[in-house]
Amino acid sequence: MQKVIVIFGAGTGLGLSVARRFGREGYAVALVARRLGPLDTLVSALESEGITAAAFQADLAQEEQIWRAVSQVEDHYGHIDAIYYAPATANAFDPALDMTPAMLRAQLEFLFLGLVASIQAALPSMRSRGGGAILAGFGGTASQGLPFMSGPAPAQAAVRNYLQSLHGELQPDGIHVAMANISAVIRDSAYHQSMDAAPAAVPGDFEMPIVDPADIADDLWHAASMREGLEFFYPAPAPAA
């Protein structure tokens, strides 16, 4: 029976690369995001490469929509073997001094609570099949706070902490947890495209390396298929002296 991965927050950057990587290994791909139009374009691209794919609509800040989308995926494919959660974030350059409870609540609902709902909705299917993978990607400020970059960072730090705990708890079920900690711009992502389209919108002293999403997708595939490795950093840390 064909395995299935659900990409929550699918876009043109890392989400598409993860879909391609797992698709090349024979997985069917379920793409989930708020707007169906862009998803249909991604489905067409994947199908042109011989990858089975389908689109499902959900606002990841709305728990009931996540549960509905997962139910639709299960109705369409019959089961779920893996999920990848990494919706595109905005307002990355908000200073911590400007953050309000309402702003933080919105980030938590989208980035953290949406992840929790996605996992809770998909876990029964994975457990019934005796294994699976939970994968995620987030910004490097999840592990190291930086001045003037506090928008999604606290919510992403909660994601990292939660997944670290979940990693040990789900190992007896054969479900592997792995995450990408990305202190770089992902090539061809929506953010990368916005940088090219409007350079003036990027702070003048903001410099980050650009990483190939295919490299990250390779690491996540290895983690899921070999059930090894919890966290991967981009760029890779310099070797200790």
Q: Are 51 and 24 in contact (CB under 8 A)?
A: yes
Q: How many whole angstroms separate alpha carbon 3 and alpha carbon 28? A: 6
**What's the confidence (pLDDT) of residue 203?**
54
> What domains sit in the chain, N to C, each tagged with a CATH number?
4-226 (3.40.50.720)
**What's the confidence (pLDDT) of residue 200?**
47
pTM score, whole prediction:
0.89
**What's the confidence (pLDDT) of residue 142?**
82
**What's the confidence (pLDDT) of residue 143?**
78
Q: How many whole angstroms separate alpha carbon 40 and alpha carbon 85? A: 19
For the chain, the maximum distance between any two Cα atoms, rounded to a whole number of angstroms, is 53
Whose CA is closest to 137, among 11, 28, 46, 30? 11
Quote the strand ranges of the chain, DSSP E: 4-8, 28-33, 53-57, 82-85, 132-139, 175-182, 185-186, 210-211, 231-234
Q: Could you list the pLDDT tens digit for every one of the 241 residues in the chain?
A: 899 999 999 988 899 999 999 999 999 999 999 999 999 999 999 999 999 999 999 999 999 999 999 999 999 999 999 999 999 876 777 888 999 999 999 999 999 999 999 999 999 999 999 999 999 999 887 878 787 778 888 899 999 999 999 999 999 999 999 999 988 787 766 555 555 544 544 555 556 778 889 999 999 999 999 999 999 999 877 665 5
